[in-house]
Amino acid sequence: MKIYQYDKDNHLIFKSGLNRKILNKEQAIYPLNEEIFLEKHFGIEAHFSNSKPGALANTLCLNIFKNLFKTLKINLSLPPVLTIYTRNILIDRNNAPNFCIPDTREILKDDYPFPGRSIFFEKFESLQKINDITENRYNNHKVSSPHFLASFIHEWIHSFQLDNIYTKYGYGGKCEYLQKQYPKTDSHKSGYKILSELETKTLSNFENNIIYDILGEYATSSKYQYLEVFSETMTKFICESLKGTTFVKNPLELLKKTPKEFQAILKKVWLFQ
């Protein structure tokens, strides 16, 4: 049973970024308005299924990454589609609750194929519920951060990493949409080929012990491990840089303070070695 803490004014105390101000925003937000806003100003096609917490969580992620990219002076393409879904309309019921697709494919029943880099989140009850689940997973050393937005940030990072790979190496797959967005480069391997090789590329037992200590169990899973280690690493240090949803530290500076053995693994992961 979840035991909540209260302050002297009988307000809930959260440890993982969530606060009363954000909960009030959750109640006040209109998902349809957010869908229109994201499409008009950022070219993101959003399907929030009238989910207030889903709409707010993704809008907060957008603001977090806008601020981060400005600080780091980098520019990456935003996810093309954000979707909140219910499991009964999934074509593949074995999908994880939250996921980012690397290539264009059909995901939902009676719907069109979604472009690669699209992100999907299973519909959930509230941000407080997500907060509780994430804290519990973190306390059981499953994931790298207890922050209530960690699972959302994780999937956004996957989309940004795919954008970086396709931009650098070209797409190289069969989807016409992605072919136009990411044309061929001089690289001898396409992004499509690199991702195919990364699907089964794993770290050693020694390396996984280090990964487990710092990032938790999820990052030691074998499928697409290199992508998961990258995403969990960035999720951890972005979340540790936030006070609520505002940056108070530089995540790259926090990353530099990690053990050298861990940094050596990250270098290997980032270079696909």
Of residues 16 and 177, the one with the higher pLDDT is 177
Specify whether the backbone of 219 is left (phi greater than 0), alpha (psi in -120 to 50) or beta.
alpha
Confidence (pLDDT) at 17: 83
Token pair listed for 176: 């016409």
Token pair listed for 182: 């990411």
pLDDT above 90 (res 273): no
Of residues 3 and 49, the one with the higher pLDDT is 49
Of the candidates 54, 82, 59, 83, the residue with the CA atom closest to the CA atom of residue 245: 59
Using pLDDT thresholds of 50, 70 and 90, give the confidence band for residue 16.
low
Token pair listed for 202: 């794993």
pLDDT above 90 (res 143): yes
Q: What is the mean pLDDT of residues 264-269?
A: 96
**C-alpha dist (Å) from residue 22 to 5, 56, 82, 161:** 17, 9, 20, 28
Confidence (pLDDT) at 15: 57
Confidence (pLDDT) at 223: 86
Q: Tens digit of pLDDT for each residue in 66-112? A: 999 999 999 999 999 999 999 999 998 778 899 999 999 999 998 98
Confidence (pLDDT) at 93: 78
Confidence (pLDDT) at 7: 44
Question: Residue 32 is which amino acid?
Answer: L
Q: Tens digit of pLDDT for each residue in 151-203? A: 999 999 999 999 999 999 999 998 888 999 999 998 899 999 999 999 899 99
pLDDT above 90 (res 3): no
d(CA 158, CA 234): 10
Q: What is the mean pLDDT of residues 249-271?
A: 95
Using pLDDT thresholds of 50, 70 and 90, give the confidence band for residue 252.
very high
Question: Residue 101 is which amino acid?
Answer: I
Using pLDDT thresholds of 50, 70 and 90, give the confidence band for residue 2.
very low
Specify whether the backbone of 50 is left (phi greater than 0), alpha (psi in -120 to 50) or beta.
left
Q: What is the mean pLDDT of residues 139-158?
A: 97
Out of 90-99, 155-164, 221-230, 233-242, which region has the weakest mean confidence (pLDDT)?
A: 90-99
pLDDT above 50 (res 113): yes
pLDDT above 70 (res 10): no
Scanning the structure block, which residue is given the tokens 């956004």?
156
pLDDT above 70 (res 5): no
Out of 11-20, 132-141, 189-198, which region has the weakest mean confidence (pLDDT)?
A: 11-20
Confidence (pLDDT) at 79: 97
Confidence (pLDDT) at 110: 87
pTM equals 0.94
d(CA 262, CA 271): 14
